[in-house]
Structure 1
Amino acid sequence: MDGEQGGRIGSKPPGLEGSSDTRLLANPLMGDVVSDWSPVHEAAIHGRVLSLRNLISQGWPVNLITADRVSPLHEACLGGHLLCANILLKHGAQVNGVTMDWHTPLFNACVSGSQACVNLLLQHGASPHPESDLASPIHEAARRGHVECVEALAAHGGNIDHNINHMGTPLYLACENQQIACAKKLLESEKSFLTPDLELAMKGKSINLTVRGKHN
Structure 2
Amino acid sequence: IKNTPRANSSCFFTPSLWLLQEKLGSSNFVSDWSPLHDASIHGRLLTLKKLISQGSDVNLVTTDQVSPLHEACLGGHAACASVLLKHGAKVNGVTVDWHTPLFSACVSGSVACLNLLLQHGASLHPPCDVASPIHEAAKRGHVQCVEILASHGVNIDHNIKHLGTPLYVACENQQVNCARKLLESGANVNSGKGLESPLHAAARSCSAELVTLLIDFGADIWAKNAKSKRPMELVPPASPLGRLFLQKEGPLSLMHLCRLSIRRCFGHKQHQKITGLLLPDELKRFLLHV
Counterpart-to-counterpart distance in 2, 1:105 and 1:207? 36
Per-residue deviation at 1:191? 4.0
Matched residue, 2:28: 23
Counterpart-to-counterpart distance in 1, 2:208 and 2:180? 10
CA RMSD of aligned residues (A): 1.7
Given residue 212 of structure 1, which amino acid in structure 2 is its aligned partner? Answer: F
**Structure 1 residues 199, 86: CA separation in 2 closer, same or farther (over 3 Å shift)?**
same
Q: Are residues 1:202 and 2:198 paired?
A: no
Equivalent residue in structure 1 for 2:73, among 77, 87, 105: 77
Matched residue, 1:49: 45
Q: Are residues 1:154 and 2:150 paired?
A: yes
Higher RCO, 1 vs 2 (CA within 8 Å, ≥6 residues apart): 1
Given residue 160 of structure 2, which amino acid in structure 1 is its aligned partner? Answer: I
Percent of paired sites with the same residue: 64
Please, which runs of 5 or more residues in structure 2 have no aligned partner?
A: 1-24, 219-259, 265-290
Q: Deviations over 1:38-86 (max 9, x none)?
A: 1100000000000000000000010000111000000000000000000
Please, which runs of 5 or more residues in structure 1 have no aligned partner?
A: 1-19, 27-35
With normalisation by structure 2, the TM-score equals 0.62
The 8 Å contact of residues 167 and 187 in structure 2, kept in 1 or not, is answered as: no
**Structure 1 residues 120, 21: CA separation in 2 closer, same or farther (over 3 Å shift)?**
farther
Per-residue deviation at 1:190? 3.0
Counterpart-to-counterpart distance in 2, 1:104 and 1:117? 12
Per-residue deviation at 1:156? 1.5
Given residue 72 of structure 2, which amino acid in structure 1 is its aligned partner? Answer: A
The 8 Å contact of residues 41 and 71 in structure 1, kept in 2 or not, is answered as: yes
Higher Rg: 2
Counterpart-to-counterpart distance in 2, 1:191 and 1:50? 43
Counterpart-to-counterpart distance in 2, 1:134 and 1:22? 26
Larger helix proportion of the pair: 2
Equivalent residue in structure 2 for 1:173, among 130, 146, 169: 169
Aligned residues: 188
